[in-house]
Amino acid sequence: MHNEKKCCEHYAKLIAKLETYEQYRKFAAYRDRILALSNDSLEKTIAIAVSLCLVCAVLVSMAAVALKPMQVDNKAFDMKKNILDVAGLLNADTDVPAAFAKQIEAKLVDMETGNYVDKLDVDTYDQRKAAKDPAQSIEIPKKKDIASIKRKAKIAKVYLVKEGDTIKSIILPVHGYGLWSTMYGFLALNADGQTVQSINFYDQAETPGLGGEVVNPHWRALWKDKKIYAESGDVALGLIKGNVDPTKADSAYKVDGLAGATLTSAGVTNLIRYWMSNEGFAPYLAKVRTGGKS
């Protein structure tokens, strides 16, 4: 019985080999026939073009698969660099992974309650992906969607810079539509949840020299020490057309608009207003201010 089974397996393998050989023989015959055709023949032109496409597709797919882990690493490295940058902890000689591990603490926040969440893995949680997943996000009603982002993740990933137990910076992810693109960035605040340390936009496709000036270090420097909430509690921070007059009472809440880019500037104001409101991080910031006792 055992020998019979072995014999069957052996023949099955042999037949498979023969079939493979037969297929190869047919392919070789077809290849020789095509190569023997005149270079001007339609059949040869199409066959060569199709073969070339197949070979290139295989090469590109192999490269994409082989490079994927490197791309993921580079993306993570870049994100750490952006976070260190907005926290004011990035110099030319900074060892990014080491500085990030030592000085930055990532936390997940429930957007509705403002409480920290620990049921998910903070290292692997991707807020941008979550915002696109109906199970992990909520649709923003049109009337409230001032940043034009349609959906928001139920859980946000924030970053803290701490010295011992004392919070030095709160780094919040923000995004909103400009003129041509959704602009993704980070806003760094003091522990008071009211004073801006810095802002940076790491992913946007506004016009270089116009809306693209959101990445200009001189413009970014104008945000330092600006205040977010007016005494009424409303979000007062935003861009104005032209330059801020420092003698005006509301100058602490205003930042120069981007020249020739009124629409991108409005987009930046809108995203700040959205993410700093009760729809965004206001519940979380209230908890940070009171040490989680509110």
Ligand X SMILES: Cc1cc2nc3c(=O)[nH]c(=O)nc-3n(C[C@H](O)[C@H](O)[C@H](O)COP(=O)(O)O)c2cc1C
Asked if 263 is part of the footprint of ligand X (rule: CB under 6 A), the reply reads yes
User: How many residues touch ligand X (CB under 6 A)?
Assistant: 11
- Three-state DSSP class for 118? coil
Closer residue to ligand X (CB): 164 or 242: 242
Asked if 240 is part of the footprint of ligand X (rule: CB under 6 A), the reply reads no
Closer residue to ligand X (CB): 117 or 215: 215
Q: Classify each residue of 162-178 as buried b or exposed e, where b means 16 or more C-beta atoms within 10 Å of its C-beta.
A: eeeeebbbbbbbbbbbb
Asked if 286 is part of the footprint of ligand X (rule: CB under 6 A), the reply reads no
Q: Which amino acid is at 274?
A: Y
DSSP 80: H
Q: Choose which of 137, 206, 229, 236 interacts with ligand X (CB under 6 A).
A: 206
Stretch that binds ligand X, among 17-25, 127-135, 257-265, 268-276 (CB under 6 A): 257-265
Closer residue to ligand X (CB): 51 or 216: 216
Beta-strand (E) ranges in the chain?
A: 104-110, 116-117, 137-139, 151-153, 155-163, 166-177, 182-189, 196-203, 238-240, 254-256
Q: Mask of contacts with ligand X, 209-238, x by CB under 6 A? A: -xx---------------------------
> How many whole angstroms separate alpha carbon 83 and alpha carbon 90?
9
| Residue 22 φ then ψ, to 5° | -60, -40
Asked if 76 is part of the footprint of ligand X (rule: CB under 6 A), the reply reads no
- Which two three-digit tokens encode residue 205? 């496709």
Q: Choose which of 233, 260, 291, 292 interacts with ligand X (CB under 6 A).
A: 260
Asked if 179 is part of the footprint of ligand X (rule: CB under 6 A), the reply reads yes
Q: Beta 254-256 vs 238-240: how paired, if at all?
A: parallel
Closer residue to ligand X (CB): 178 or 283: 178
Closer residue to ligand X (CB): 145 or 206: 206
Q: Which positions touch ligand X (CB under 6 A)? A: 179-180, 206-207, 210-211, 260-264
